[in-house]
Structure 1
Amino acid sequence: MVPLRPSTIICPVLVFSGVLWIYDVGHSQLYEVETAAILRAQKEAASPASASHIPDQTTAFRASPIVSAEALASGDDQGIVESNFSVVDSLRDSKVPENEINRAALESRYVDFFYGEMVDGGFAQFVGESEWDSQTVAMVRKGLVDIKAFRHLELFDDGAAIVAAIDPKELRQFINTPQPSSKDPVLRKLSLIDRQFFAVNDRESLVKLNAAWLRQQPNLIALSPEALRNELQGRGVYLPHRDKISVKS
């Protein structure tokens, strides 16, 4: 038997090892590609298919006012204002802090709250329902400024001056009384601007100005009922410890 030279043995071994190395590298790269594809598919499957979905919900409500597409398309001023009010209050009820809600949407909501109380029961009712909370008063005033309701702003400041002139203890007692008597001196003082309100509103409609303010927001989002519901229901997933966050009513 002819003895084999070392080179005769080593060469096939090196070739075989090289083949194994190439196979392992190729298999590893293929595995990485397949894994990436699976993860990408899982991510896409977990995301809502709707194009109207808001991608970053941790900041989405701060970035944009949101209304229903139906309310926006209808052209009805009251409809779009009420839609915004409903969205903002849904977020507040879900314990979303107001600093995570769009500022324009908040201002619109507070102005509409003021308008609703004035129409329903007058300035005394607004003071009672709001408890003359400083944040609420400031938001209403800022909203009146931004929607350019300057006649209403002047009247609101007149009402604030009346409140400032009332003894704090008397004001607190009035606020804490569920149904003040029509003869209550505080109620009578606060009601002095009620007639003026309707006269001003005939010339400067708060609803129209409020609706125009919302429509002119460049980042306004209009969603279908289903998409809107999904966004509102899904918000809590992105807000850590939402059950521990208190929101002022």
Structure 2
Amino acid sequence: MVPLRPSTIIRSFLALAAILYVYDVGRSQFYKSETAALLRGQGKVSPPEPGLHVADQTDVFKISPRREYRTSLIVSAKALATGDDQGIVESNFSIVDSLRDSKVPESEINRAALESRYVDFFYGAMVDGGFGQFVDYSEWDSETVALVRKGLIDLKAFRHLALFDEGVAIVAGLDPDELRQFINASHHSSKDPLLMKLSSIDRRFYDLNDRESLVKLNAAWIRQQPNLTALSPEALRDELQGRGVYLPHRDKIPAKT
């Protein structure tokens, strides 16, 4: 067998690289055209009036795994139809987390859906263990704190916002090593200095939430979104699978924890 010359190998490699490049560009252009077609279809659907339920729009959009509601806040049609505030908030939360688990970057998830999800994350931490637990669970990630704060503003939960800012100010005043030690600790004593500083925040949160329910405000805000979309279980499954499978380079995008 006659060995191949180095120049022959290089030319073959470059030809293969060119073919792969053209294929990849083609896939990206196809994805963009599919998204544009979906957006045109969404423009034909009248936005819901505040307070009204949204019917299952699966048939309107003719959803397939290659079409996505990239600009929509998606909830389960069943959760929306029940009228239960906690149910609709939890539906949005679970859908956002399913998208994130499918390695869909947060930049491609509806912003209102993200804010609602992070406000509910904050609410759950407060109910479960107080502001200190929110600090622990969030690891005091600056983006998480910012999204919770922006969500409270958009929900018009201004009393909760004022209390949240008090907690933020307390944590901001900590020595960085003290904060890191708190987050890394496997167990927190009730006499932990930070927990004691935040105890007044926790007590006032419960009193405030009795008068200004964060879940009710969150659910009302979701229902008022002009691009709210309710999906049947089958359409929801297809959408979640499609978002993770058909986007270019999806396998190369790390999931945010």
Q: What is the TM-score of this pair, normalised by structure 1?
A: 0.76
Give the drift of 1:83: 0.2
Give the drift of 1:188: 1.6
Residue 116 of structure 2 is aligned to residue 142 of structure 1: no
Which stretch of structure 1 is more off in the superposition, 218-227 or 150-159?
218-227
What are the superposed Cα offsets for residues 42-83 of structure 1, whole Å, 9 maximum, x if unpaired?
xxxxxxx9444447967623x000000000000000000000
1:233-248 correspondence to structure 2 within 5 Å? 233-248=241-256
Give the drift of 1:110: 0.3
Contact 1:90 1:232 in 2 (8 A): yes
What RMSD, in angstroms, separates the aligned Cα atoms of the two structures?
1.7
Give the drift of 1:121: 0.6
Contact 2:65 2:242 in 1 (8 A): no
* Corresponding residue to 1:106 among 114, 118, 124: 114
Name the structure, 1 or 2, with higher relative contact order (CA <8 Å, separation 6+): 2
* Corresponding residue to 2:69 among 37, 51, 60: 60
Aligned length: 200
Could you say what secondary structure the match of 1:166 adopts? coil
Where in structure 1 are there 5+ consecutive unaligned residues?
1-48
Q: Distance in 2 between matches of 1:161 and 1:54?
A: 46
Q: What is the TM-score of this pair, normalised by structure 2?
A: 0.74
1:1-249 correspondence to structure 2 within 5 Å? 50-54=59-63, 60-61=69-70, 63-249=71-257
Q: Distance in 2 between matches of 1:143 and 1:59?
A: 24
Give the drift of 1:193: 0.5
Contact 1:59 1:100 in 2 (8 A): no
Where in structure 2 are there 5+ consecutive unaligned residues?
1-57
Structure 1 runs (4+) deviating above 6 angstroms are: none
Q: Distance in 2 between matches of 1:233 and 1:192?
A: 44
Give the drift of 1:192: 2.7
Contact 1:71 1:83 in 2 (8 A): yes
Could you say what secondary structure the match of 1:96 adopts? coil
Larger Rg: 1
Give the drift of 1:191: 2.7
Contact 2:68 2:239 in 1 (8 A): no
Could you say what secondary structure the match of 2:69 adopts? helix
Q: Distance in 2 between matches of 1:180 and 1:142?
A: 29
* Larger helix percent: 1
Give the drift of 1:106: 0.3
